[in-house]
Amino acid sequence: MDMSTVEILQYNFNLVKGATNDFSDDNKLGEGGFGAVYKGELGDGQGIAVKRLAKDSGQGDHEFMNEVLLVAKLQHRNLVRLLGFSMEGSERLLIYEFMPNASLDQFIFDPTKCALLDWEKRYKIIKGIAKGLLYLHEDSRLMIIHRDLKASNILLDAELNAKIADFGMARWFKPEETQGDTSQIVGTYGYMAPEYAMHGQFSVKSDVFSYGVLVLEMITGQKNRCFRYEERMEDLLSFAWKSWQDGTAMKMIDPILKMGSHSLHDIIRSIHIGLLCVQEKVVERPTMASIILMLNGISTVTLPVPSEPAFFMGVSEPQVPLLHEHSLTMSSSGLGRAKISKSINYVSISEIVPR
Ligand SMILES: Nc1ncnc2c1ncn2[C@@H]1O[C@H](COP(=O)(O)OP(=O)(O)OP(=O)(O)O)[C@@H](O)[C@H]1O
């Protein structure tokens, strides 16, 4: 381990504790599957978000530091930057740059704040997420599959640039290894590709699936998990697919997105791209590299006709109550044995080589 890098990344525990007012409730930004997140300010005025990891991970200091070093090396304008870490006893803190506009879900699903994100801004975010994912999938030194891409994991900076957060569940791969099988499924209901949710198979294409759900949510302004149309509960993917087939895709667009003809073209194209991402057949889903070409509307790129999406939501509603927006962990034997886990520990970030 490169000790000089460790020194640069390691923050004094008491300093961080003080910066968050002793992890006070007033400073609490939210709580995720890994623990609570607190706002803080360092002596030089820099805003930070401190993730205080749940204490039951049992991970050694050395392993923890190794993981932090790996994550800190990932730098891209569409990824939330990990500034460093702090440890004391069983306490483990991750220190991130602070994102003043919080997460995307707090805009697009909020009846008032949704108006702050017009189509231009949403389109910029859709493109930004695609660039961040492409970096994770193809351009960083290691291949990374996020595995829990969703609206609450997209943070927004002061200029509303999209920054992908929560690499806690990402896995690192050697470049030639692009697929994995796991019995520990960690993701969020509504965004998980069916082959991952049901058989534990994950690949860059399971991230592409989640990206497609996210794009469709940004256009409709509704959550995949509780989509409504004319007072009826529907399944977002089935609804999008049916509307597309019927030539009535317009009716799924969030009315708040007032459209000129130029943006309408981009919105319809984005619905098309979203549908390509959520196709049932994994091989038919485009890669992030082709998605970026499609989004940029390169005229030589003709979009393929989408095939049927996976109606995962419709057929396999888990028979368990869902706790908030939280991630679920289930055995690879299927949804019947799904169980909710609120305290997924960060051991999963250390899995560098897939099984
Ligand atoms: N760097 C940050 N800057 C500003 N706010 C942040 C930052 N990181 C997290 N938050 C806030 O803290 C909340 C909790 O974050 P966290 O990533 O732990 O949970 P989550 O994404 O809601 O759930 P999960 O752990 O299931 O992914 C987020 O919704 C976000 O509003």
pLDDT at 351: 29
Query: Where does the pLDDT of residue 300 fall: very low under 50, low under 70, confident under 90, or very high at 90 and above?
Result: low
Is the CB of 119 within 6 Å of ligand 1? Answer: no
- Nearest atom of ligand 1 to the alpha carbon of 105: 29
Q: What is the pLDDT of residues 61-89, one digit of tens each?
A: 787 888 788 888 889 999 999 999 999 98
51 assigned ligand-binding residue: yes
Q: In sequence order, which ranges of 135-224 are alpha helices (DSSP H)?
A: 194-199, 204-220
Write out the two tokens for 109.
């699903």
Which DSSP letter does residue 110 get? S
pLDDT at 344: 31
Q: Which residues contact 212 (CB under 8 A, 6 or more apart)?
A: 273, 274, 275, 276, 277, 278, 285
Pocket test for ligand 1, best of 95, 103, 343 (most atoms within 8 A of CB): 103
Q: How does the average pLDDT of the chain come out, rounded?
A: 80
Euclidean distance between CA atoms 212 and 150, whole angstroms: 10
* Catalytic residue status for 118: no
Q: Does residue 194 sit in helix, strand or coil? A: helix
Query: Where does the pLDDT of residue 318 fall: very low under 50, low under 70, confident under 90, or very high at 90 and above?
Result: very low
Question: Has residue 320 got a pLDDT over 60?
Answer: no
Mean pLDDT of 211-215: 98
Find the 304 Cα to ligand 1 centroid distance in Å.
Answer: 35
Pocket test for ligand 1, best of 48, 50, 82, 152 (most atoms within 8 A of CB): 152
Is the CB of 165 within 6 Å of ligand 1? Answer: yes
pLDDT at 59: 65
Question: Has residue 339 got a pLDDT over 70?
Answer: no
Is the CB of 151 within 6 Å of ligand 1? Answer: no
Q: Which domains does the chain show, CATH number per domain? A: 3-97 (3.30.200.20), 105-326 (1.10.510.10)
pLDDT at 198: 81
pLDDT at 79: 96
pLDDT at 213: 96
Catalytic residue among 25, 105, 118, 148: 148
